[in-house]
């Protein structure tokens, strides 16, 4: 299990502002493969409804969510791809 959380894989965090949720995905997850930049949600940047941000490790992704969003009432989810 630990190998999923480190190495040369990329992790994507889907930050959803309306539902106050940060969901962590692997790069091979169907959800992260289908991400797209829209008027309200960005890829690689945050817009009014959130966005998709890339991280090199699971720990970096989780730490970012904890630091930036948990204090505002967001929950952190691990997608089923983990």
Torsion of CA 8, 53, 73, 77, to 10 degrees: -40
Identify the weakest region by mean pLDDT among 1-10, 12-21, 29-38.
Answer: 1-10
Q: How far apart are CA 15 and CA 69, in angstroms?
A: 9
Share of the chain above pLDDT 70, in %: 90
Length of the chain in terms of residues written: 82
Share of the chain above pLDDT 90, in %: 74
In sign, the C-alpha dihedral spanning 48, 50, 54, 56 is positive
Q: Quick one: pLDDT band at residue 8, thresholds 50, 70, 90?
A: low
| Region 29-43 average pLDDT | 93
The domain spans of the chain are 2-78
Q: How far apart are CA 75 and CA 69, in angstroms?
A: 8
Q: Quick one: pLDDT band at residue 67, thresholds 50, 70, 90?
A: very high
pLDDT score of 2: 39
């Amino acid at each position: 299990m630990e190998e999923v959380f480190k190495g040369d894989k990329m992790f994507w965090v889907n930050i959803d502002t309306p539902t106050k949720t940060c969901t962590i995905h692997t790069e091979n997850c169907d959800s992260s493969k289908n991400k797209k930049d829209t008027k309200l949600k960005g890829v690689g940047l945050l817009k009014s409804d959130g966005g998709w941000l890339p991280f090199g490790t699971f720990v970096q992704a989780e730490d970012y969510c904890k630091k930036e969003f948990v204090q505002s009432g967001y929950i952190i989810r691990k997608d089923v791809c983990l």
